[in-house]
Amino acid sequence: LLLSAAYADLGGPLTSQDRVFSLMENTTDESLVPTRGGDWDDNGVWRVLHAHTWNADHDQILQVFNGLNKINFDATNVLGFNPSKGQAAEARFIRALALYYLLDLYGQYPIRNPGDNLLLAPEVKSGAAGGDFIISELTTILPDLPTGNGSEKANPDAARTLLMKCYLQRGTWANRAAPTFAAADMAQVIALGNTIMSSGKYSYAANYFDNFNPKNDNSPEAIFRYNNTAGVGANNSGIGARWNMTLHYNSYTPNNPNAGWNGFTTIGDFYASFNTTAVPTAYGPTDTLFDGRLGGRNYNNSKTISGINPGFLVNQQYNENGVAEKDRKGNPLAFVAKIADNMIETGSNLEVTGIRVVKYVP
């Protein structure tokens, strides 16, 4: 039960649109949440993330820190109750995953040993020492992780993948202002990746978005995943937030039409970097003209269900019957790239500004 609780903890900070996803995406050139009239203002919490003007009292920053540290605490708690070698390895992997995000987002993390006096302050690791501890943990548990675990549980290849991410970030954790990347660390990334690829367990899905459709539990690309099914993971919104957060209020959803929240968008320059014109540019080779991640391409698994093609959604949108959709004012529902510089939309087209992104197939 203790180990199951640690797994269940992953849901909150790692599936909700306003937790790890928001801090790692809305602070970049991939995603932002403009204010649309009275919608998505929330006292400016979304805008300050994209503008890099947040304060320490920002609720998302506090909630993510607390959520990740709950994983940290509950996974450590498993170790104090005589777990089997495999159970201990799984708990330490879950903890290492939480520590990875804490170090990446906050530059430090608290760490306790099982049985430590909770009235005393924990040890705090940061920078290079913080990264070295995570790498040491993953390297130590690698031989003990159950090889029979599926991708929904901690397994050796999941540890190898997280190790790869740690070696890639090691130089940044050591010096964020002027990172360097040691050849030995990059060699580790390559070696670990080769081990995973040469195992024969994985292959590319026939279609990129097969990895994100409702029946993706047997995806040939999945190494470590979170079960998003009935009865698994309380206290999180489920993966439906991934499309509701971006779709228009009048966009179709199978269970609840008119359920889109009309929030998250991407940036025009990011969309253009995929080379959406007939002439190749420095931003992308010719084959990106046929990149399945771009919107407007037929994807049979969803086209007849929701009418929504996963990927980038731009220009006129259509429902499941191929009928052109309209916004709430009766105008064509056609998403445009331009977003107000201050991220506050007030014009007559405020409902359609910003290119939308759908990854999980509704």
Question: pLDDT tens-digit profile of 170-180?
Answer: 999 999 999 99
Whether this model's pTM surpasses 0.85:
yes
Let me know if residue 356 belongs to a domain: yes
- Residue 223 inside a domain? The answer is no
d(CA 72, CA 95): 5
- What local confidence, expressed as pLDDT, does residue 3 receive? 97
Which residues span the domain enclosing 11? Answer: 2-212
- What would the pLDDT profile of 32-73 be if each residue is shown by its tens digit? 999 999 899 999 999 999 999 999 999 999 999 999 999 999
Q: Contacts from 73-80 at CB under 8 Å and sequence distance 24+? A: 73/112, 74/2, 74/5, 74/6, 74/9, 75/6, 75/9, 76/111, 76/112, 76/113, 76/114, 77/2, 77/6, 77/114, 78/2, 78/3, 78/6, 79/114, 80/114, 80/115
Looking up residue 75, the CATH number of its domain turns out to be 1.25.40.390
Closest alpha carbon to 26 in 105, 96, 100? 105
Could you tell me if 146 and 270 lie in one domain?
A: no
- Tell me, yes or no, whether 13 and 139 share the same domain: yes
Answer yes or no: do 195 and 288 share one domain: no
**Percentage of the chain lying above the pLDDT 90 cut:** 67
Q: Are residues 150 and 257 in the same domain?
A: no
Q: Based on the domain organization, do 260 and 145 belong to the same domain?
A: no
Is 154 domain-assigned?
Answer: yes
Residue 185: burial class (beta carbons within 10 Å; 0-12, 13-18, 19+): middle
Domain count, the chain: 2
What average pLDDT does this structure show over 116-136? 98
Is 156 within 8 Å of 145 (Cβ atoms)?
Answer: yes
Is the four-CA dihedral 292, 293, 299, 301 of positive or negative sign? positive
Average pLDDT across the chain, whole number:
88
Is 225 within the bounds of a domain? no
Judged against a pLDDT cut of 60, whether residue 282 lies above it is answered with no
Whether residue 40 sits in one domain with residue 166: yes
Assess contact for 294 and 274: CB atoms under 8 A: yes
